[in-house]
Amino acid sequence: MDDIGTPLPITEDAARRIGMRTRGHLLIRVRHELPVGQGFGMSAAGTLAASLATASLLGQPRQRAIEAAHLAELEGRGGLGGVAAILGGGLELRSRPGIPPWGRIRHLPLRATVWVGVVGPRIDTPDVLSNVRSLARILRAARPLDSLLAHPSLDAFGRESERFTDAAGLASPRLRRLLRALRGRDTWAAQAMFGTSFFVLARSPGARGRIAQVVEDHKVRAVEVPLARGGARPLPEADWTAVSPRRKDFRGGRARRAP
């Protein structure tokens, strides 16, 4: 369950895969610091966190936790490879689907921040992936992405993210208006897949002020967070603050830390 008692069946499935031969009971509480169902990979992040914790407790290897989380996500239709995306930091480039060693993933280290925000209700990933028309449109939009793999950079990622957002056609009218206002010579703004949500990359220090003004004008709450430098990993109990880095929201205040 999450920190407010909501059941998380995909996360539970992953933990059961690891502990299926262990007697007793295990209670897992997952704290999500971004909303689930908004394209931020929170389902995969929570599932992998629970898997890593369970495997560590039961003395099982990290790879077993990764495999259990990945299979639970796929079979539960929580996403198409979200676990693989968070095994490393920086910009993730995937040329073959799946988790290592079957999948082929490259992580490009980057020092940058990204603004994220939500403008509407959640989108259920299974609903999108089971819609034949939506899936066909997504596959067509993804075909030109090979150029990003050949010449990876933050600018190329931002440019392709904007193109994919427009071609996939999943954004709500309100989200489309916001993205148009956020885009410019010094920013990249795109939809987080799949959610009524967005992310913005600033290409210059001066862009931060413009991003803050736009989201405030549109009455949208946004948070600026740093790109991770490393992948998911267990933390010592005393080091729990590493999970919740200090970050500023567009109102200039500190984001609330979990108690």
Check which CATH number belongs to the domain holding 208 and give it: 3.30.70.890
Residue 90 φ/ψ region, left for φ over 0, alpha for ψ in the -120 to 50 degree band, beta for the rest: left
> Is 2 part of any domain?
no
Number of domains in the chain: 2
> Is 157 part of any domain?
yes
Q: How many angstroms separate the most distant Cα atoms in the chain?
A: 58
* Residue 245 to residue 229: CA distance in whole angstroms: 12
pTM for the complete prediction? Answer: 0.83
For each of the chain's 259 residues, which pLDDT tens digit applies? Answer: 555 567 788 899 999 999 877 777 888 888 888 988 899 988 899 999 999 999 998 999 999 999 999 999 988 877 667 899 899 999 988 888 889 889 998 888 888 899 999 999 988 777 887 889 999 999 999 988 888 888 899 999 999 999 999 999 999 999 999 999 999 989 999 999 989 999 999 988 889 999 999 999 999 989 999 988 888 887 776 454 554 444 444 433 333 333 3
Characterize 60-75 residue by residue with b for buried, 16 or more Cβ atoms within 10 angstroms of its Cβ, and e for exposed: beeebbbbbbbebbbe
> Is 122 part of any domain?
yes
Direct distance between the N- and C-terminal alpha carbons of the chain, in angstroms, rounded to an integer: 18
Characterize 98-135 residue by residue with b for buried, 16 or more Cβ atoms within 10 angstroms of its Cβ, and e for exposed: ebeeebebebeebeeebbbbbbeeebebeebbeeeebe
> Is 137 part of any domain?
yes
| Domain extent for 37 | 9-96
Query: At which of 57, 73, 96 does a domain end?
Result: 96
